[in-house]
Structure 1
Amino acid sequence: MTIPSPQPCHAERFEGAAPVLDPLAEVRSEQDPATDVYLTGPVFLDIIFTGLDSAPVRGTETWARGMGSSPGGIANMATALARLGLRTSLAAAFGDDMYGEYCWESLSRGEGIDLSLSRTVRGWHSPVTVSMAYEGERTMVSHGHEAPPPEEPPECPPPARACVSLLVPGRQEEWIAVAAGRGSRIFADVGWDDTGRWDPADLADLQYCEGFLPNAEEAMRYTRTDCPRAAARALAEKVPLAVVTMGAQGAYAVDSGTGESAEVPAIAVEALDPTGAGDVFVAGFVTGTLAGWPLADRLAFAGLTAALSVQEFGGSLSAPGWVEIAAWWQHVRSFDDQSPATLRRYAFLDGILPAACRPWPLRRAVPTLGFRRS
Structure 2
Amino acid sequence: MQTSFDCVGFGICAADYLCLVPRYPNLDEKTETLEFSKQGGGPCATALVTLARLGFRTAFIGKIGTDTDGDFVLENFRSKGIDTTGVIRDENMPTNKAFIWIDGASGKKSIVLDSSHYRAVKPEEMNFDFIDDAAYVLIDGRDTAATWKIVEWAKSKQISIVLDAGSPRQDMEQLLRAVDYPIVSHSFCHQFFQTDDYEEAIRKLLNFGARAAVVTCGEIGSYGGDENGVVFQPAFQTKVVDTTGAGDVFHGAFIAGLLHGLSLEKNLRFANATAALKCQTLGGQKGVPNQETVLKFMRFNDNAG
Taking the aligned partners of 2:232 and 2:205, their CA distance within structure 1 comes to 16
Matched, 1:314 2:280: no
Taking the aligned partners of 2:222 and 2:295, their CA distance within structure 1 comes to 22
Q: 1:170, CA displacement in angstroms?
A: 7.6
| 2:127 aligned residue | 155
Taking the aligned partners of 2:68 and 2:128, their CA distance within structure 1 comes to 29
Taking the aligned partners of 1:124 and 1:224, their CA distance within structure 2 comes to 36
| 2:175 aligned residue | 205
Deviations 1:99-136 (A, max 9, x none): 2112211211x200000111333353222111111233
Q: 1:317, CA displacement in angstroms?
A: 1.7
Tell me which moved more, 141-150 or 94-103. 141-150
How big is the alpha-carbon RMSD for the aligned residues of Structure 1 and Structure 2? 2.5
| 2:67 aligned residue | 97
More strand by share: 2
Taking the aligned partners of 1:284 and 1:170, their CA distance within structure 2 comes to 25
**Residues 273 and 297, structure 2, Cα contact 8 Å, conserved in 1:** no
Taking the aligned partners of 2:184 and 2:299, their CA distance within structure 1 comes to 31
The change in CA–CA distance for 1:328 and 1:151 in structure 2 (over 3 A counts) is: closer
The change in CA–CA distance for 1:47 and 1:175 in structure 2 (over 3 A counts) is: same
- Please point out which of 100, 109, 117 is paired with 1:138: 109
The change in CA–CA distance for 1:190 and 1:301 in structure 2 (over 3 A counts) is: same
| 1:115 aligned residue | 84
Number of residue equivalences: 295
Runs of 4+ that moved beyond 4 A: 148-152, 168-172, 329-333
**Residues 165 and 187, structure 1, Cα contact 8 Å, conserved in 2:** yes
Alignment of 1:306-345 (within 5 A): 306-329=275-298, 338-339=304-305
Question: Percentage identity across aligned positions?
Answer: 24
Taking the aligned partners of 2:35 and 2:260, their CA distance within structure 1 comes to 37
Matched, 1:240 2:211: yes
Taking the aligned partners of 1:49 and 1:224, their CA distance within structure 2 comes to 34
Greater radius of gyration (CA)? 1
Letter in structure 2 aligned against 1:245: T
Taking the aligned partners of 2:204 and 2:157, their CA distance within structure 1 comes to 28
Matched, 1:272 2:241: yes
TM-score by length of 2: 0.88
**Residues 95 and 121, structure 1, Cα contact 8 Å, conserved in 2:** yes
| 1:249 aligned residue | 220
Secondary structure at 2:154 match in 1:
helix
The change in CA–CA distance for 1:45 and 1:225 in structure 2 (over 3 A counts) is: same
